Amino acid sequence: MTGQIIDGKNIAAEVRGEIREQITKIQGENPAFKALLAIIQVSDRKDSLTYVRMKLKAAEEVGIATEYLHFSESTTQEEVLQSIDRLNEDPEVNGIIIQLPLPKGFDEDLFTSRVKPEKDVDGFGNYNIGELNKRNGNPYFLPCTPKGIIELLKRSNVNISGTKSLVIGRSDIVGSPIAALLKAEDSTVTIAHSKTKDIQQCFKDVGIVVVAIGRPEFVKGEWFKDASPDCVVIDVGTNFVDDSTKKVGFRYVGDVEFHESIKHVKLITPVPGGVGPMTVAMLLQNTLLSAQRVEKLNGKLRPFKALPLQKVKPVPSDIEISKNQKPKKIIDVAYEAGILPSELEPYGSTKAKVSLKILDRLKDKENGKYILVTGITPTPLGEGKSTTTVGLAQALGAHLNKTVFANVRQPSMGPTFGIKGGAAGGGYSQVIPMDDFNLHVTGDIHAISMANNLLAAAIDTRMFHESTQKDGPLYKRLVPAKNGVRTFTPTMLRRLKKLGIDKTNPDDLTEEEITNFARLNIDPETITWRRVVDCNDRFLRGITVGEAPTERGFTRKTGFDISVASECMAILALSDSLSDMRERLGRIVIGTSKAGVPITCEDIGCAGAMTALLKDAIKPNIMQTLEGTPVFVHAGPFANISIGANSVLSDKMALKLAGVDPSLPQKTKNEKYGYVITEAGFDLTMGGERFLNIKCRASGLVPDVVIIVATVRALKVHGGGPEVRAGAPLPSEYLNEDTELLRKGCANLAQHIENARQYNLPVVVAINKMSSDTDAEHEVIREESIKAGAVDAIVSNHWEEGGEGAIDLARGVIKATEETSNKDFEFLYATDGLSVEDKITTIAQKMYGAKDVEFTDVAQKKIDLYSKLGFGNLPICIAKTQYSLSHDANLKGVPKDFTFPIRDVRASIGAGYLYALAAEIQTIPGLPTHCGFMNIEVNEDGEIDGMF
């Protein structure tokens, strides 16, 4: 014997020890770190069971968790494939291996290829094998045995570069992959196989021989006489040959004639104890590598890839920019964001709904950072709040590599077709496709309209039937017999419980109970529930229903609201589960009985059907920005006549996806936190105030930082500049530097900063840059912002530059979240212990600057009624103009000492607040002379033109 044995057992033990040390070190920094290997076996073969036990034991030794799925040979292929699919999707599983061989009739390639490349730790799948064999391929994993062979050579101090190598065997598992790896190490490789003629000639001057042909002692010792004197032999074969001298009747041999070959080579692996242990060690190493990739991705399922912007100057129209950007497939956007395929319901290729199940899966995560974007008192031109939200998200995600979500409302088609235009942002900071975003999305507003109008129809129908029938027939028709059996529906059982009737058999009710159950006796004068339409239509503000002769003279005056002002929309925004939405819909109060008892949606029997109409609408929608960062688009309550915030569910979902493991050290958390940028409509005294006092109460969430968006143009308006109108040329004051006018207008910004500080929240001012601005004007805003108590004021040019233009703002926001705290957050008012009048007065005085509040007789009567009915402990939503801190759109800047008029109060009991209407605010807007819809056309390719 002249050669030396390569001890695979010892080298594999070294590798396993290193893996154990790596895992221990990682867990010292991140206690939650875990690597998990899933093993699927479809047979009862003893050799397969032995190999599986070896892998399970080795994994346990190094600290890798395992999941072992053992199927009998009678299992169908589909059952096994379903299990592979489940493991593929489970983010906790880092590696999946299929123990080969599979039973006869099972397609091995089908199964190995079904494993996702990112989890194919065996390296057998088509993707990884294909990438390995490409010149510049990038496989996720190298096959374990070939990888183990290279490791054996290197740890045995074998210099591979420049050698001649011979690989005998051409399988996809060993032969072809090891040839590719040797070539990658700069060896000149020859591949031989069982059909190679004069195979012995291939050994001349060879330095490395790898044999994986599956034939006992196929390679003879004498073949190495012409090989290099430093020849190294790697024997991959494991064969059984009969041997009567052994107790078991057989012995293991390799593909190489070991005892003769060792006389002529420098190094050789034994069988067993050579390559086998290294294969298992490499399997564990690949699993650890997969787990480390997952940790690096911080909860995402694959690395984020930004969409490049092709910026043009002057900046084209919003719709042109949107159409010129090719969006990513929404399944890819979601996957990058950490959303599993089973949690996604695509609506076409660019938008999808996200299942609420994601909240259960991520329930143990600590939330990411919560950023509220609001603004100063706007002008009719808008000040770029949505644009800032999107631009900041693009900066954080596409440029600073942070996990980020922009959370916005679904826009109403009223403003889209009216005067304001769309709400997708603008310039190079948009949600795309902007036409899909502004029209329909996934139909949530249509579902809201249907649910709202179903209840409206049910109210009038119930009053009609009660007025035309006696108690007995009315009850029989309400609870009809089906196949001779009468039963109460679930919603009827709820009404019975409310009435204190503990009976479940309709035939058991007394006459008095029948009357109480069947007759709601709705007082038409108290009905506040109106029909809705998602369109600006002033002529629906007041209507008369019941004019058809079939209604027998039953008419009443009512009207329409715009769909996004419906209480159903507010309920959608504030619900935190499907069951919560069902309960809230049931609590809707539509008016009172003639005896003064509140009549609810549950009493009418409509809540279950309304929930059915909204069961998909409650799932948040996901879209993307121009630079490919994810956007949750959900709910769309108006901000001047409703709460003006996107949904609680989309915020909670995004905060978990952007969250971190709570066991991490704080320094690591700060590095890994993601950011959720959620928008509140109009200014801080409107959408912002309702966000903090209503939405935060419903969600239990508190923003870490408040961003107030300001523009030079709007602040000049508040400083006394001339009026601006949409579509009209801007006066010269807004096109030229005027720091004096600007400084006066900064009083409005200062008031908003002061308002935010009343909640003990840190404020960052985002100065939305426009081309006519000057550096001196930006400096004025910064000075006045800091003076008023803002943490910082930062110029952002996201409209013209996209995320790149908002990088400074993004860094400022990150810094603010790290250096400030929301722990001292306080609501503006308490809901209990204060009268409705006191709460309204608190908002008017502390937010708007009013001296007094004046209530009309109608409003006072409603307040008295709602207080008597037990609704006085709810928070308040005040509907008012968005163009002034006051109720009067003409009062710019910071009006003081005015009387704030409340003309009506409505009850949104399902949503969970009282709804006060100030001055002449309308709940359905009208259309202007020149409407946005006049510009919209569809070209021959089916693309929409003319939107803005």
Q: pLDDT digit string (tens) for 486-504?
A: 999 999 999 999 999 999 9
For residue 434, name the pLDDT band (cuts at 50, 70, 90). confident
Task: Let me know if the fold of 4-293 is the same as that of 318-442+616-819.
Answer: yes
Q: What is the pLDDT of residue 251?
A: 78
Q: Which residue has the tokens 């722990």?
A: 823
* DSSP reduced 3-state for 945: strand
Where is average pLDDT lowest: 194-208, 373-387, 934-948? Answer: 934-948
Q: Which residues contact 491 (CB under 8 A, 6 or more apart)?
A: 586, 602, 605, 606, 607, 608
pLDDT over threshold 60, residue 507: yes
Angle formed by the axes of helices 578-587 and 567-574, nearest 10°: 150
pLDDT category at 464 given cuts 50, 70, 90 is very high
Q: Which of 183, 191, 132 is nearest to 160 (CA)?
A: 183
The neighbour count for residue 667, using CB atoms within 10 Å, is 9
Q: Is the pLDDT of residue 947 over 60?
A: no
**Count of alpha carbons within 13 Å of 61, Cβ hemisphere only?**
18
Task: Output phi, psi for 306, to 5 deg.
Answer: -75, 150
Q: What sign results for the dihedral spanned by CA atoms 784, 786, 791, 793?
A: positive
Q: Which conformational region is residue 341 in: left (phi greater than 0), alpha (psi within -120 to 50 degrees), or beta?
A: alpha
Give pLDDT tens digits for 296-353.
888 778 899 999 999 999 999 888 999 899 999 999 999 999 999 999 999 999 999 9
Q: CATH number of the domain at 4-293, out of 3.40.50.720, 3.40.50.1360, 3.40.640.10, 1.20.1250.20?
A: 3.40.50.720
Quickly tell me which residue has 């801080």 as its tokens.
684
Supply the pLDDT for residue 927.
57
Report d(CA 23, CA 28) in Å as an integer.
Answer: 8
CB-based contacts of 468: which residues, under 8 Å, 6+ apart? 552
Q: How does residue 241 score in pLDDT terms, banded at 50, 70 and 90?
A: confident
Pick the catalytic residue: 122, 235, 738, 773?
122
Report pLDDT digits (tens) over 789-798: 999 999 999 9
Residue showing tokens 């107790």: 247
Q: Which of 41, 99, 430, 624 is catalytic?
A: 99
- Burial (0-12, 13-18, 19+ Cβ within 10 Å), 677: buried
CA–CA dist 117, 852 (Å, integer): 67
The pLDDT value given to residue 245: 74
The domain 445-614 is classified under which CATH number: 3.90.1640.30, 3.30.1510.10, 1.10.8.640, 3.40.50.2300? 3.30.1510.10
Mean pLDDT (whole number) for 526-533: 93
- CATH number for the domain running over 836-917: 3.10.410.10
Angle between helices 607-614 and 578-587 (to 10 degrees): 140
H helices present in 541-606, as ranges? 567-574, 578-587, 601-604
* Residues 589-612: tens digit of each pLDDT: 999 999 999 999 999 999 999 999
What pLDDT does residue 415 have? 62
Cis peptide upstream of residue 433 (ω within 30 degrees of 0): yes
On the question of pLDDT at 424 being above 90, the answer is no
Six-digit token string for 613 = 């109409």
CA-CA-CA-CA dihedral for 356, 362, 367, 368, to nearest 10: -90
* 99 labelled catalytic: yes
Q: What pLDDT score does 419 carry?
A: 59
878 pLDDT above the threshold of 70 = yes
Q: Note the pLDDT of residue 512.
A: 95
What local confidence, expressed as pLDDT, does residue 152 receive? 97
Beta carbons of 328 and 624 less than 8 angstroms apart: yes
The pLDDT value recorded for residue 123 is 93
Rounded mean pLDDT, 917-933: 68
Lowest mean pLDDT among 34-48, 383-397, 914-928: 914-928
Which CATH architecture fits 318-442+616-819?
3-Layer(aba) Sandwich (3.40)
Output the pLDDT for position 925: 64
* Concatenated DSSP letters of 617-669: TTSPEEEEETTS-EEEE-----TTTS--B--HHHHHHHHHHT-B-TTS-HHHH
pLDDT beyond 90 at 244? no
- Name the residue ranges covered by the structural domains of the chain: 4-293, 318-442+616-819, 445-614, 836-917
* pLDDT-derived band at 423, boundaries 50, 70, 90: low
pLDDT > 90: percent of the chain = 80
Q: Which of 295-299, 414-418, 566-570 has the lowest mean pLDDT?
A: 414-418
DSSP letter (8 states) at residue 102:
P
| Number of Cβ within a 10 Å radius of residue 436 | 21
Q: Is the pLDDT of residue 414 over 60?
A: no
CA distance 366 to 109: 41
Q: Which residues pair with 907 in a beta bridge?
A: 914
Statement: residue 948 has pLDDT above 60: no
Residue 4 is encoded by which pair of tokens? 């030396």
Average pLDDT, the chain: 92
Q: Any idea what the Cα angle at residue 590 is, between residues 587 and 596, rounded to 5°?
A: 95
What's the mean pLDDT in 214-233? 94
Contact 328, 432 (CB under 8 A): no
CA distance 502 to 509: 10
Measure the CA angle with vertex 788, ends 787 and 792; round to 5°. 75
Determine the pLDDT at residue 936.
Answer: 62
What confidence tens digit (pLDDT) does each residue in 678-701 have?
999 899 999 999 999 999 999 999
> Which among 55, 300, 619, 862 is annotated as catalytic?
55
Run of H or E residues at 756: helix 739-757
Residue 928 has pLDDT above 60, yes or no: no
More confident call, 353 vs 538: 353
Q: Is the pLDDT of residue 257 over 90?
A: yes
pLDDT digits (tens, 9 = 90+) for 368-395: 999 999 999 998 877 889 999 999 999 9
Measured CA to CA, the distance from residue 575 to residue 516 in angstroms comes to 31
